Structure formats: structure tokens, C-alpha cells
Structure 1
Amino acid sequence: MPRRTPRNALVGLRTPGRFHGFLKTASICVLIAGLLSPLSPAVAAPEAPAEATAAADHCGNQCSDILPPGQNGNATLAQILLNQAFGTMPEHASDQLGPYADLAKGHSGLTNATINNFFNDASFGVPSDQVASTVNPAGRGDVTIVRDKKTGVPHITGTTRYGTEFGAGYAAAQDRLWLMDVFRHVGRGQLTSFAGGAPSNQGLEQQFWRHAPYTEADLQAQIDSAVASNGERGQLALADAKAYLDGINAYIDASDSGRYFPGEYVLTGHKDSVTNAGTIEHFKLTDMVALGSVIGALFGSGGGGEVNNAISLLAAQEKYGVADGTELWESFRERNDPEAVVTVHDKSFPYATRPEDPQGEALPDAGSVAEEQLVYDRTGSAAGSAAAGASATAAETAMTSAKRGMSNALVVSGEHTASGHPVAVFGPQTGYFAPQLLLLQEIQGPGISARGASFAGLSMYVELGRGQDYSWSATTSGQDIIDTYAVELCQDDFHYLYRGTCTAMEKIEQKNAWKPTTADSTPAGSYTMRVWRTKYGPVTHRATVGGKKVAYTTLRSSYLHEADSIIGFQMLNDPDFVKGPEDFQKAVQHINYTFNWFYADSEHTAYYNSGDNPVRATGVDAEFPVWAQPAYEWRNWDPATNTAQYTPPSAHPNSIDQDYYVSWNNKQAKDYTTAPWGDGSVHRGNLLEDRVRKLVDAGGVTRASLVKAMADAGLADLRAEGVLPDLLKVVTSSPVTDPTAAAAVSKLQTWLSAGGKRTETSAGSKKYADADAIRILDAWWPLLVKAQFEPGLGSELYAAMTNNLPIDESPSAAHGPTGAHAGSAFQYGWWSYVDKDIRAVLGESVQGPLDREYCGGGGLSACRDLLIGTLKEAAGKTAAQVYPGDDQCSAGDQWCADSIVQRTLGGIRHGRISWQNRPTYQQVVEFTSHR
């Protein structure tokens, strides 16, 4: 049976029943009563409502949004204990989770009039009868924070720029202070010292600090550079940031004196619940850069993986020879697959394409690669304890649901809508967390007019949302802005040749020590994280190349430049800057993170792919490590500032007023070679492409019909829709006489006839329709992929290829990139490989085929025997074997295995919801007029 009180996923806090280990319910009640002071928000008298004045709004009540679980991400100790003892929720902590979840069953009957049953009204302002509270933070007369009754979203209106940003900071701290504190420590590699030594905390800080091992001087240098290089806008951003921080710190002081600060500070030993002893540290400018480095690493840094690419290429060449092995590897890499779904239609944007004559490659000698050690114990020896292994596992799963998210976008031009105005349904996927990484807000002040979502601690501007007469959103694009260099070692393992001179590596260390806390039973401990840094970036691996000892380093174009993107967000919030699609494109060109950006107003739509794409030296293949020599460096690269020549805006995939745009982290455009593996003939993007194209062909698209298309795609099993029909063609190419296989085929065919979706029998039933067919496919996929490809590839090459691209990412796949209960599914898998191979076996046309037929060694009969054999094996697996259970679910509970869990980052936990493959924050917009 599942544990009723699982450990929180990230911050090491224990959930219900674990506070102090063994407190009885009666004891908790007494403690709660003592904590409910007159100044606690739980019992504070509501402030008198006041009418808020709305800014110019051209949406005509047709803008909506949603962000589960709820706006309120702060909870006092009393509220945490009540939640843990009785399941009660602080106000507005969970009120967006139900409507979000309900769309999975409610979308089929959706109309424009019922959209806000599942979304919030995202109009500007708050009607006077919906005002819940009005606050002038810190008594300031130049800013007002109004919160609405339904969601508690802050509507911040300032008469001065400083007051506006002060209010944004104050409101952010009201809603996310603990979360912001957690992530400023994550960005500095100091989470364990702050929140305890739980393996999840160790893993989280290790995951990020390895890629951005910044010193305090590095963080400050980013601020100085971003300001100096952006003139008046840079100075304005600095002033905005300072005002924002003043607002955060004003709330910290108020909550401390009023004793209504987040209860997690008590649970982790930073504050005393009785004496109020202890402090909550004020925020400073470099904290925002540390936060930004985490967000950039999660969502906006495509590329990398060159060492793993080299290992799999060498394995292919070892088995099949250089020529055939390279052909095999390239066919699986699908760099520029002609069958891949693309966002920009009929335009070519060449980038990072395969060179005809690669230059400077530094492929490792077989078996010589070793990953660089990060963690050391107190004596300075490499840590190899069980705790280190546990933290590494936690690092693998702690935040990958965010990094491997399912952001999507559906945008249709006015030419194809019922109203003649563009319609958009779009949003980012930031994972399911409690509290959520994003927060909602409206900001109105001099030079700022926007409502939408922002990352907590970086919410001085709306980052994804809407302005007065336009809206914008983003999906992670993942194009390659990261390269791996082989630096030749000299003298010892910590000196390298830099442009002919033996140069010492820079040693960057972060020491952490922690004590046991009431929130976590991890024993006291300490360790040191150590990164060796070169001019070409941090060292990630050691190897030999042609017998020479080398260190492999990772150089990212946004490294040391996370703060630069602030200017683009500032422009997006400025109604005097963004007046149309061209202005929008100019704004997002200032964002160096790798994102796909989408835009809609009442007349136009637009798209732009952002990121600092380095111009590589002629002949350099971005897929593999190259020698750290001037001939193979980025053009005009300055190692002191990590700046280089970048491809011009016109070379980035971009478009205005295309008939429609779809994106689900798929390929951007023809010849735009992106970093992720798996952009082939079957991709999650096809689920959107097929549905939106059908709507556009029919014409008369509405907000409701576009939401339906998104929600329908979000319930589809990509394997069932994109691959299963051809698999069954092979299986039924002759009569299926085996009774077990025949019964399985019948169930799968029935499921396909019903649409091949993972849907409940009825809302809240927690049981799937066609449950047996879903169980069979979940069991069959890994069996058939292994049987189909491992014999032809060989076990070593097959393993190397699965390191590049996991074979499966079903909703219940705890082994997949996102881990269990993460919502996101079907982003990474061998769907295209199976599809191309099976179509080849069937004799169908395949563009960009694999290097050979793999199924059964080739031929329809042998492939059919293989599929029937694995299908029989899959059909014989019980639900308990396919869904083995975990700390959330009993073995065999199929619905629960798929279900989404809001992974706890604090003391409040939420119930599970039914699976749907959908963005976390999402907008539905259709503007009716334009300035």
C-alpha cells in the first residue's frame, strides 16, 4: 500500500503526521491554537473593499488563464499543521486545481460561454463587487495591491515606477516567499545548508550548480554587464529590480514583526515558533541572478550531450565499421528529418547543419570517458557513499518534470476564425509543484501594463501573458547553444593548453553543512561541491583522445549572461514599445534563452525563435566535441566575457501571419537542426498539427474549438495514435490464431476505434475506459522496442542509443525523463524509429528511413512473429506488474500510476488529479480591438 505521508519531492520537508515525528492530533490542535495570533493572516480581519480602476483593455472579456494549484503559495506554521492534520487549505492555495483538472472530462461540451468554468477571467482590473482586499504596501501612497475574491491574484497599480515595482515585489513575497528563498539558495548551490541534507536537496543543488558554478563576483558581473550594455533600458531595469527587492524585503520585515512568515522557516530551524528568534535574510540583486540561472538552466538552455553522442557513434562504428556505423547513427539521430512536424511552414532556416567535411573533432578513445566528480567529503576525497548515490538519483528526478516540460501553443490567424480575429491557446509547462514555480499578477504603472505569469522572485515584469491589446507565450525550443570542447591537459590534471600556453584551471568550491531539523530526519553532515573551470567553461568529463589526456568542457552562450534577458521582458510589458507583431519580435530578440515565442492581437499573429545562436567555425559539427583551439572556437569569441558572433535575427525561424502555428517542443523549421533527439516522423507535435490543421481547413475556428483541440490532444496516447495502427497492420497481415494474441488485438482495436485516449469512464471514477488495452500497450511498448532493435544494434550500441533517447515516456513511466506523476508524457521516445521501421517492413514509402530494416531482422513474416510474441508476453502481465506501485499508489492502480501530483516544495500538499498532457499555465485569448 502507498505511504500516506510521503517525503516531499524537493525541499526535504515532511508531510502530514511527520512534524516532530510523532505529534498526536490533539497535540497539534493545541499547538495550532497557540500559533493563531491576532496578527496571523488566518484570522486577520479583511480590509475594506475598494474599487480598482482598470487599464485600457482590448480583450472584450475574451481573455482567460489558469495556473494550478492556486495563487497563495505561502502558509503559516498553523496553516501547515492544519493541512497536515486535517487536509484543510489556506485560502487560494488550491482553488485553481479543480477547474484545471475538470477540463479533461469537460472539454467535449465546451462552448465560448463556458470557458471560464475551467479558466480564470484574465481581464484587466477587478470589478468592485469582486474586490477581496486592498492594500497599500508598507503604507505607500503610490501603489495599491487589490486582490480578487475568486483567485486572490494581485492586481498591482502604481502611480510611480518605483511604487509599481515595490508593489510587485511585496505581492510576490506575500505569495511565494519560501519558494523564492529556496531557489536563490539552489542557484548558489547552498540548498542543503539552508533547508537540510535530504537526498532530494543534495541532488537539486548539485544538478544546477554543476552547470552554473557562479561566484558572487560572477553574479554581480552579470548585473553590471546587463546594465552597461543596454543604455537607458539597462538603467531602468536596475532601478526596477532595486524597487522590486525593496518590496520583497518590506514584506519580510512585516511578516517577521507580525509573525505570519511562512511556517517552513520554523520547520527548517530558521525561526522559533515561540520566541520568534531567528532571521529571514533580506534579498539582494545577486539573488535575482542566482534565481535566473536556475530558470535558464531549466527551460532555456538547449544543446549539450556531445560526449554521449560521441560514445554512441563510436559504438556504431565499432560494430559496423566507420562508414556503415556513421550511416546508422545519422539515421537514428534524425537531425533534419523530412517527416518531422515543423512550426514554420515552407521556409528554411539552416542552423547547425551537418558539415560535409567535419573539422576539429575530438572523439574520445573507446572506454576512456569518465564523468567529472562533483561531490567531495570533508577530507577532500571523492564521495562514493550511499548518500551520494541517493542524492544523484534525486538530482535525476527532482526537477526534470520542469526541464522536460510539455509547453505548447496553438495559434490561428483571423482568416480562419469565426470572428475574423486571431485565436490563441498557449502556455508554458513548468511542472506541477506546490507552490507552483510561477505566480499570477497584473501590473499597471508608468511604462508597464500587463497581466500573466512570472517566475517567483523574478516577477518585476510579467514574463508570459497579455498586454492591453496583445498576448504572448513561449515553449522551450532547445536549439543548440551549447558546445563541448576538448582541452588538452598539460603538467597535471588541472592545467590545460589555452591558445598554446599551459594554464591553470580555476577551482570553484561550495561547502555545505547541515544539521537535523524538525522537518527532516537526515543526520547532520557536510560535503563540498567542486568544479574545475576553464576559459571554455566547466569541466564535465575526462578522457583520452588519440592517447592524449583531455578534459571535456561545456560552453553555453548564455553562460554568465542569464541577466541579459531582462531587457526583452521589460519591452514586452511596455505598451509604448509593443504595438504590433514586428515590435514583439524585436522585444524577444533580446531574450537569450532558447524559446519559441508566439504572439496574437486582434489583427495579427507572429512567431520568433529566441536565443544567442553562436556562429561556429567552418566545418565544426555541433553534435560532437571539438578541440579547444582557435580554429574551432565560436567566431569572434571573447573568453573574458563569453560573448561571440551570433546568427542575425533574420536567420532565426520567424514568421508573421502564417495560417496557423503549433508547437509542442517540436522542430522549428526545415533545416533548423535542433538539439533534442526524437524530432522525427512521430512526435507529440503531430497531435496538435493534425487537429489544428483540420480546424483550419474547416474554417470558423473559435476559442472553444481550439481549447477542445488542445485538450483532446492532451489525452491522446501518442503511441496509440501515431504507431499502433501500423503495428496492428503487421500483426493482422495473416489471421491471428493464438487466442491470447487475438484477444489482445481485439482490445487494442476497440480502443483505437474509441480514439486511443487515456480517459476516465466518468469524471472522478479514477478508472480508465479501455483499461485492459492501455495496460497491454504500456507493457508491450518496452518489450517490442527492445526485441525490435537490440538484436540488430547489439546490446552495447542499443544501450548507448537509449542513453541518447529513452525508449518510452508514458504517463506512468517512472523510468522516463520526467519521472512518475509529472503530467508530461510522450516528449521523448522511440516512436519515430518504430514507425519508420514498421512502415518499411510493410513496404510503404518512408522519407528519411533508418539505415536498414530491424524488426525480426527484416521481412514481414519475421517481424509479425516478433510482434505477436512480445504482444503475448505483454498481455500476460498483470496490472500489478505493469504498475508496480510507489509512495503514492498501490500496485496495480492504473489511474493512480498515471495521476499528476503537485510535488511539494513546502509544507502544503494537494490531492492527485487525473492525467492530462497540458501546460501548467495556460491562456485562451481573442482580442476584439486594437489601439
Structure 2
Amino acid sequence: MPRRTPRNALDRVRTSRRLSGFLKTASICVLTAGLLSPITQTPAAAGTAAAVDHCGGRCSDILPPGENGNATLAQILLNQAFGTQPAHAEDQLGPYADLATGYPGLTDATLNTFFTDASFGVPPDQVASTEKPAGRGDVTIVRDKKTGVPHITGTTRYGTEFGAGYAAGEDRLWLMDVFRHVGRGRLTGFAGGAPANQGLEQQFYRNAPYTEADLQAQIDRAVAGSGARGQQALADVKAYLDGINAYIDASDSGRYFPGEYVLTGHKDSITNAGTIEHFKVSDLVALASVIGSLFGSGGGGEVTNALSLMAAQSRYGVEEGTRVWESFRERNDPEAVLTVHDGQSFPYASKPADARGGALPDAGSVTEEPLVYDRTGSAGGAGARKASTAAARATLGSARRGMSNALVVSGEHTASGHPVAVFGPQTGYFAPQLLMLQEIQGPGISARGASFAGLSMYVELGRGQDYSWSATTSGQDIIDTYAVELCQDDHHYLYHGTCTAMEQVEQKNAWKPTVADGTAAGSYTMRVWRTKYGPVAYRATVGGKKVAYTTLRSSYLHEADSIIGFQMLNDPDFVKGPEDFRSAAQHINYTFNWFYADSRHTAYYNSGDNPVRASGVDAEFPVWGQAAYEWRNWDPATNTADYTPASAHPNSVDQDYYVSWNNKQAEDYTTASWGDGSVHRGNLLDDRVRKLVAAGGVTRAQLVRAMAEGGLADLRAEDVLPKLLKVIGSAPVTDPTAAAAVDKLQAWVTAGARRTQTSAGSKTYANADAIRILDAWWPLLVKAEFEPGLGGDLYDAFTAGLPVDETPSAGHGPTGSHAGSSFQYGWWSYVDKDIRAVLGEPVRGGLARTYCGGGSLGSCRDVLISTLKQAAGTTAAQVYPGDDQCSAGDQWCADSIVQRTLGGIKHGRIGWQNRPTYQQVVEFTSHR
């Protein structure tokens, strides 16, 4: 029986004038919603027959806020009026939040206080419901009492995938609909013209301006190029879509579809007029393009790099300026924490000895290519454009800049002799969550874990019968910027000597006023000019010649290709060990770090289509769009080229341990990220896991504690502040204000340098004054330390490439406020290296110059004390100015994590933790 709203609840909504009035004032912009279809299903008399499970009860996972991500209109209105939650909408949020205060006493026996059992199957006494979707006899969906996770068991391949699609519709229909429109640049027309919706569709359309023909071509190529597996993938997708569409039909006729369709004007709550469009294959490619753009495409900063290099050369001259720039870029810093730390080298995107083909812009000539044209309605104007950009950053920016991490220890160093892993991706905090949990058991499929909503025909991150896998974003550079010389006019360019017309791709969007977003009607057109070298991103002149800077990524027009790798990971007949795991991961063209653990082995592999660049091309900067500087054997018609072989990607089997927190993968492997230097948040994991491995006997609980403690640590306070205090302490501190601040900061360092509450639920930090002082001090000291030496222009250029700060409360940072992710992007390494140089301590890979106080210990100390006094006098209200979530001065609230609404259901704030959204804890006890 399908999940549905009890009739009396729906009747109450129809007749209640109070709730009808609330409906008129509800603010639910799409990026402000949440989903769940409340439900009554038939309880099963017995549990599901579990597939072969080698975890022995030692596999757990967690995914807040909850599995249920669809909500009827009744539930949405009740939630927003009274705060009530549909079943399973947030039952994983509390355990997830509680780890921040509960981790110190954690044991293996109490792990599932903070996680859920991820064993296969559902015990009979834990079955909440069972259903045969659409009355099919070849698939059963069982949901457990604790979390409501769907356990899909099929006797045929078609039925299994049909059930996966049906369950996806039950749990994430509205979200899937939102993102298929985002992937096509059509969100505002679907969900209203709120600034967040505008910003979101613009963000993705600029990177993937696909036509329907482009989407279909991706499908055709992925299937044609993968033999029998490609044909099976297409059959799986079609069965999955049949399941989604069957749920759409059932929920429509039964009138228990997500309430957001009413709030955005697609359905009438009284007459049921209106339609919910069926999904088709190209919709899934549009969804995949969003996910690939968010999490799996590193690089693309070549123009910004060029501008900062030019600023450095203007300041210091070409030779010295280049040396200064390279020292801040930290392409291959010898002090960087590495995932593969066994001495292996994997050269990629290294600095060429003699760079060729560079196309740096003339000073002051760069302008960003406009995207939006013909704007009408009250949402227009520069203010709206700024609002839409900020809103997009505030919603999906945290996912894009995620904090995925992994801690994996080989069996040689564990108490049981079996590998232990604690790992998961950071997909941001949303309601409903972008990911959904499921178990799928059927012919050729046996897995449980998380998948992106709308792409859940396979488990994408999770466990099989005797192995588990997960990923973090790797960020190696698969995007290059080409300067194409213009000819005839601004929309023609030289391609291999021939003046060639650019292709114009447009998306016209118009929206009506909706209850959901409260904005007036409006419209605009998004327009992208495409070349054979990719979409145009900037205009400039190079040596006086007019050029367009284009952006070409290896996954462009190929987001569908990765389906084969995920199919393999779900296939128990394919993955039987670490080499099979690596073979599967090689088929995933997104830039991810993949980790593996079974009862005997651990493994790591870095995926992505890394293009083989022409000799002498420096991947850091724009190059000319000419045959000599193209990727080797590049075919513009299909955007295919030569890619580095699997053996050239960082990879390893059975290293003593692995850690990853978006840090550098291996020696000589250049990522697109700045700041991979001596202090990186990866150190917060590496330091702790290294100590556990040295002591031996590592347990699941110990590894979780290491992750949790690192996730509460302030990176600046743990790894940089002691050196700053050492400079200050090089002479007696006579100023009382500075002395008091130093005492508070030192006490915090001694206590562990963590942002922890005084007690569970207190919403007050221990060492609150010290935290406030450092939050205020860091941007002041960085500016005072570096700007005098760099000069204002170069300092600004460098900070444009890498912000100085990313604290939990830093709304100005890359992730925005209340996003959880912190301390990935900042000047921690620069300050560390510079201060050690001032102290006369050894520095490998140091900055080209010493900046603090001009290199004088006494002068540097004066800079630090002066800025420290200024910070100490800054009030909490100034440091934490308040926003739509928090009052000014509320430190805990400023740090807190908010489940950003993508539907109608809202959730409360939780305390800050710097950890993955979906997380597994695994230790397999046996192997096939």
C-alpha cells in the first residue's frame, strides 16, 4: 500500500481557515522546502531475508535529518505552524548532533547511540511496513521502524530497479523534480523567481548549458561505449524511471503527492487539477550534471590565477614576482599532509620547466561574460542579481565546498585484525538531504548505503556483502581555460585558422507569483556562447588582441559516463577485492578520492578523467586556443582526449592508514586548490590517526572519536596559535589587555583548542572568550602581517584566490553561514610558515619572503600584540553580528548548523561539527 496522508488530516487542512491563512504567508522558496509523504503501509509479518552479510553487526551509518523527504500539504502547514515533524523526517538529526558532546565516552557497544545499524535486511520485530509497489510480484519494499529506510528486494532485475525508483519517488520526489529543472536551467519557471532560485539555476547553467540533444547524446555515448554493461545500465535506468512514474501516478490519484506542488501552483489542493510530469532518461542526465558540477569537477581558476600572478609581477618584477606567486600557490609543498604517504610519487599538472602557449590578459581588460539578458519584473536590477548569487552560495555553496573525510586503518593496526573505516561525503545540510539511504538486493545488485536523489538506481556510497566504499572530493585540475582569438565580431573566433561562429544557447524563463516564494512575476533569458573549447566565461585582450576565455572540462558532455563504475560497485560478482574496486572506480570520471575496506584489505584510488596536456602547457594559467596547446588527441565533437592511465592516478593498497579531508593526494600530484601547505585541516585527522596506529589495537570507537575530536577542533588554535603565542611570549607582555587575552588563548590551547559546549545542550562554549578573541583576531593579524609587504593590490588578488578565513561563523567565507564545513580555505599555512621563519625555525617550502614585521621578531611581536589588543576589545555582537537565524552576539548560534530548506519542512539548528553529512563506520569480520 502506498504511503499516504490519513484522510482526516487532509480534511482538516481543507476546512481550517487558520491554516489556509498561514498558507498565504508561508515562505517556502524551493530552496526553502522539505519533503515527505506520510504514510500508512501494511506491516509485514516477518522481516526481509537478508543477503549474505559479512559485517557481523559492525557496520553503521547516519544521514541527517532523516530518510523521509516528501511531505504532503497538510504536513508542511502543520510543520510551519506548530513545528510538528512527519515520521522519519528528522529522526537521524538528534543522534548525529549528539556525537559532538557524547564522543568522549564512546565505546564500540554504544556506537549505535549515534549511528544506525547498517546490516543487511530488517529483523521481523523491526519491520514498520511492507509493500509491493504498483502491485508487482517481483519486488518488495520493506521499511524499518527506527529510520524508515527502504529495503528493496527483487526477484528480477527489472523489478529491483522498479522498486528503487518507486522508493525514490516516495522519499524525494519534489527534490528530484527541483534538480532536474536546475540541471536544465529552468528552476524559476518551475518553482518561482525567488533570488535563491535564480542564483541556483544561473550557477549551473553557466557551467553546463546543455540542450536536449546534448543530454540525449550523453546517454547514447555512455551506452554505446560500454558494451553489455552499458545496455544493462540503460535497462536499469528505464526500469527505475518506470518506478518513479508509477509512484507519481499513484500519489496523484491518491492525492498524497508532495505539498510543494500545491504551494508552487502545479497542483490544486481542492480539485487536484494540474500535473506532475513523468521523468525521462534525459532528466537523470540533467540531475547528474548538477551533481558532477557540485562535487566532481576540480579546476577552472586560471583567469583568477593569471590576475594574481600579474599583480605579483607588477609589485616585484617578473622574476621575483613569479617566485612570490609560486610560494603562495604551494603547488607541491613538501610539508603538506598526504593521503598516500608511503613515498610514491604521482606527477600531474606540475609546473613545466619551460611554459608554452600562455595567454595572460592585458592589465585591466578582463570582464566576466554576462549570463542574464532581458530581465523583467520586480525581481530585476543589480540588487536582485547580488541577492540571487548570495542565496545560491548560501544554499549549495556548502555542498560545493564540502568537508568530506575518510579515516581508514589497516588490519595490521586494529584490535580485531580487520580493517576499520570511518568515512563519508559532505553534501551539505539540507531538508530534505540531497542523499537518500536505501538497501537494494536483486540479481546482480547487493548493496546498502546512500545515493543522490534521482540517481539511486545504484548505491553510490555504501557497503556490499563483504566490502565498503566511500569518497571525498579530490579537486585535481580537469578544467582548462583557453583564449580564443576573436575575428569578424565578438561572436566569431579563430579555430585552427578558420573564422568560426560561436553557438548561442539560450534558456528563457518566466515565473508567476507563487505562495512559495512571495515574489512578483518576472522573466529573463540566460544566454551562453559556446565554442569548440567550451563555453565562454570571460572577455579580455591579450597583447592587444580581443579574446574570449573559454572553460573546457574533461567531464563536460560526459556526466552520464560514471554510471558504469557505480553499477560495478554494486555488483557482488564483480567486486571481490581491492583490485576490482579500483577497476570500478576507474570508470568514474568525477574527481573523487575513493576508499575501500573489507575484512582483509584497504585501498585508495583517485578517479577522474585527467587530460594529457600538450608539452609545456602550464595548467595554472590560460593558454591559446590553438592546436599546439590542446589536450592530446582531443576530439571537439565528443570532447574526448587522451587521459592519464590508472597507474598514474594516486592509488594504494594496504597502506598503514589513509586520511582524507580534501587535502593533497600524493607527492607531486597538483590539485587545483590553493593552501595545500603545512597547515591543512587534513592534519587534524592525520595527527590523531597516526598516534592511534603507533599505539596499535585501533577500534571502531577510537577511530570515531578521532574523527569527532578533529571535527570540533579549531585548526588555527591547534596548529598555528601556539606559534603566534611563542612570538608574543618572546618578551614579557606588559600590556594588561594583551596579557589577559594571551592567558585566555593559552588556556584554550591547553584544554585542547576545540569549540565545545560546556555541557550537552548548554549552547554555550567552554573558553568562549578565547574563541571570540581568535575569531576577531585572525583576519586582523593576517592583514597586518601580510599586506604591508605584499601591498594592497597583491594582497587583494591573493585573497580573491584564497580567503583568509573560514571559521564556522564566517558568513563571508566560501561556504556561507551555518554550513558546518570550516577551515578548508584559509591562510593557515602562510601564517604558519611565516611565523616559523620569524622564529628562526626550519621551514621546508617556505614563502619567498618573510612578512611579519619585515622579518624582525620584535617588529612581528608588535604587530601581533597590536592586533590582539584590537581583537580583545571587539564585542561578541561585533564578531557575531546576527542574521536571520541568530541574535547578535550569540556565539553558539552563529556557529550552528542549519538544515537549509529545499522543500516545505523545516528543522531546528544543531551545534557545530566539522564532519561529513553521510557517514559510515565499518569493520567486516569475514570475506567470501
Fold conserved (TM > 0.5)? yes
Aligned to 1:375: 372
| Contact 2:376-2:522 at 8 Å conserved across structures | no
Residue 392 of structure 2 is aligned to residue 392 of structure 1: no
Q: Tell whether 2:844 aligns with 1:819.
A: no
* 2:850 aligns with one of 850, 853, 873: 853
Deviation at residue 591 of structure 1 after TM alignment: 0.2
Aligned equivalent of 2:792, options 790, 795, 800: 795
Query: What is residue 272 of structure 1 aligned with on the other side?
Result: 268
| Alignment of 1:654 onto 2:664 | no
Measured in 2, the distance between the counterparts of 1:372 and 1:198 equals 23
**TM-fit CA distance, 1:819:** 0.2
Q: Please tell me whether residue 929 in structure 1 is matched to residue 926 in structure 2.
A: yes
Q: Secondary structure, in 3 states, of the residue corresponding to 1:644?
A: coil
Residue equivalent to 1:13: none
- 1:628 corresponds to 2:634: no
SS of equivalent to 2:487: coil
Deviations 1:812-845 (A, max 9, x none): 0000000000000000000000000000000000
Amino acid at match of 2:676: D
- Residue 508 (structure 2) pairs with residue 511 (structure 1): yes
Determine whether 1:573 maps to 2:567. Answer: no
Letter paired with 1:482: I
Task: For 2:413 and 2:338, locate their aligned partners in 1 and report how far apart those are by CA, in whole Å.
Answer: 20
CA deviations on 1:762-806 (whole Å, 9 max, x unpaired) are 000000000000000000000000111111111111111011000
Shift of 1:46: 4.4
Give the conservation status (yes or no) of the 8 Å contact 2:67–2:148: yes
Equivalent residue number for residue 456 of structure 1: 453
Question: What SS does the aligned partner of 2:804 have?
Answer: coil
Q: Secondary structure of the equivalent of 1:424?
A: strand
Q: In structure 1, what is the Cα distance between the partners aligned to 2:235 and 2:492?
A: 42
Quick one: which of 289, 292, 301 aligns to 1:296?
292
- Change beyond 3 A, Cα 1:647–1:26: closer
- Cα distance, 1:398 vs structure 2: 2.6
Take 1:768 and 1:490, find their aligned partners in 2: how far apart are those partners?
A: 61
Q: Residue type of the partner of 2:675?
A: G
Match of 2:10 in 1: none
Q: Which amino acid aligns with 2:285?
A: V
Hey, what's the Cα distance between the residues in 2 that align with 1:316 and 1:24?
63
Structure 1 residues 120-163: Cα deviation after superposition (integer angstroms, max 9, x where no partner): 00000000010000000000000000000000000000000000
Shift of 1:865: 0.2
Q: 1:171 to 1:379 in 2, by over 3 A?
A: closer
**Share of identical aligned residues, percent?**
82
Query: Is 1:605 matched with 2:602?
Result: yes
Quick one: which amino acid aligns to residue 122 of structure 1? A
2:495 to 469, 489, 498: 498
What SS class does the counterpart of residue 399 from structure 1 fall into?
helix
Residue number in structure 2 paired with 1:698: 695
Residue 25 of structure 1 and its aligned partner are, at CA, apart by 5.7
* Equivalent-residue separation in structure 2 for 1:520 and 1:317 (angstroms): 48
Cα distance in 1 for partners of 2:766, 2:18 equals: 41
Q: 1:602-650: CA deviations, max 9, x gaps?
A: 0000000000000000000000000000000000000000000000000
How much has 1:23 moved relative to structure 2?
A: 7.2
1:142 is aligned, of 118, 138, 143, to 138
Task: Measure the CA separation in 1 of the matches of 2:895 and 2:666.
Answer: 33
- Specify whether residues 379 and 823 from structure 1 end up closer, same or farther in structure 2 by C-alpha distance, changes over 3 A only: closer
3-state SS in 1 of match to 2:489: coil
Aligned match of 1:200: 196
Q: Give the counterpart letter for 1:191 in structure 2.
A: L
Q: Any conservation in 1 of the 2:60–2:117 contact (CA below 8 Å)?
A: yes
Aligned to 1:354, the other structure's residue is in SS state coil
Tell me the secondary structure at the aligned position of residue 568 of structure 2: helix
What's the counterpart of residue 914 of structure 1?
Answer: 911
Structure 1: give runs of 5+ residues left out of the alignment.
1-18, 33-39
- More displaced 10-residue stretch of structure 1: 138-147 or 397-406: 397-406
* Paired residues of 1:716 and 1:758 also in contact (CA < 8 A): yes
- Paired with 1:54 and 1:806, the residues of 2 have a C-alpha distance of 49
Are positions 1:582 and 2:579 aligned together? yes
In 1: Cα distance, 2:795 partner to 2:68 partner: 47
The residue type paired with residue 261 of structure 1 is F
Residue matched to 1:177: 173
Q: Deviations over 1:98-132 (max 9, x none)?
A: 00000001010000000000000000000001000
Runs of 4+ in 1 over 2 A off after TM superposition: 22-32, 40-51, 382-386, 392-398
Q: Residue 772 of structure 2: which of 775, 779, 788 is its match?
A: 775
Superposition deviation, residue 93 in structure 1: 0.2
Q: Quick check: 1:750 aligned with 2:721?
A: no
Distance 2:18 2:845 in 1: 64
Deviation of 1:477 (Å): 0.1
CA change 1:592–1:841 in 2 (3 A) is same
| Offset, 1:521 | 1.4
Find the aligned partners of 1:882 and 1:166 in 2 and give their Cα distance.
52
What is the rounded CA distance, in whole Å, between the counterparts of 1:518 and 1:41 in structure 2?
20
Q: Which residue of 1 aligns with 2:129?
A: 133
SS state at 1:784 partner: helix
One-letter code aligned to 2:282: T
**Which secondary structure does the structure 2 equivalent of 1:493 belong to?**
strand
Alpha-carbon distance, 1:389 to partner: 2.6
The 8 Å contact of residues 49 and 132 in structure 1, kept in 2 or not, is answered as no
1:281 to 277, 280, 302: 277
1:153-195 CA distance string (max 9 Å, x none): 0000000000000000000010000000000000000000000
Q: Deviations over 1:178-231 (max 9, x none)?
A: 000000000000000000000000000000110000000000000000000000
Within the candidate set 74, 93, 97, 1:78 is matched to 74
Q: Is the 8 A contact 1:135 1:145 kept in 2?
A: yes
Question: What corresponds to 1:258 in structure 2?
Answer: 254
The answer (yes or no) to whether the contact 1:377–1:383 under 8 Å persists in 2 is no
Deviation at 1:49, TM superposition (A): 3.9
Q: Distance in 1 between matches of 2:247 and 2:456?
A: 15
Encode CA deviations 1:439-486: one digit per residue, 9 max, x unaligned.
000000000000000000000000000000000000000000000000
Give the TM-score taking structure 1 as reference length: 0.96
2:818 and 2:442 map into 1 onto residues whose CA distance is 40
Cα distance in 1 for residues equivalent to 2:766 and 2:880 = 17
Of residues 460, 474, 477, the one that matches 1:477 is 474
- Take 2:79 and 2:106, find their aligned partners in 1: how far apart are those partners? 34
* Aligned-residue offset at 1:897: 0.1
8 Å CA contact 2:73, 2:260 repeated in 1 = yes
**Are 1:444 and 2:445 an aligned pair?**
no
What is the RMSD of the two structures over their aligned residues, measured on CA atoms? 1.7
Q: CA deviation at 1:390?
A: 1.9
1:87 to 2:87 alignment: no
Q: Is the 8 A contact 1:50 1:133 kept in 2?
A: no
1:858 is displaced (CA, Å) by 1.6
Q: Which runs of 5+ in 2 are unaligned?
A: 1-12, 27-35
Tell me how far 1:50 sits from its aligned partner. Answer: 3.4
Q: Is the 8 A contact 1:49 1:133 kept in 2?
A: no
Give, as a single letter, the amino acid of the residue that structure 1 aligns with 2:355. P
Tell me the matched-pair count. Answer: 904
Q: CA deviation at 1:396?
A: 3.2
Tell me, yes or no, if the aligned pair for 2:19 and 2:77 is still in contact at 8 Å.
Answer: no
Say whether residues 1:210 and 2:206 are aligned partners: yes
Equivalences for residues 2-401 of structure 1 within 5 A: 24=18, 42=38, 44=40, 46-345=42-341, 346-377=343-374, 384-401=381-398
Q: Which amino acid aligns with 1:142?
A: D
Paired residue type of 1:322: V
Q: Structure 2 length as normaliser, TM-score?
A: 0.96
Q: What is the CA–CA distance in structure 1 between the aligned matches of 2:38 and 2:351, rounded to whole Å? A: 61
Paired residues of 2:43 and 2:127 also in contact (CA < 8 A): no
Aligned partners of 2:17, 2:658: CA distance in 1, in Å? 55
How many angstroms does 1:41 deviate by? 6.0
1:289, distance to aligned residue in structure 2 (A): 0.2
Query: 1:860 Cα deviation (Å)?
Result: 0.1
Residues 399 and 426 of structure 2 are in contact (CA less than 8 Å); yes or no, is this contact kept in structure 1? yes
Letter in 1 for 2:459: V
Give the equivalent residue in structure 2 for 1:3: none
Between the aligned partners of 2:663 and 2:488, the Cα distance in structure 1 is 45
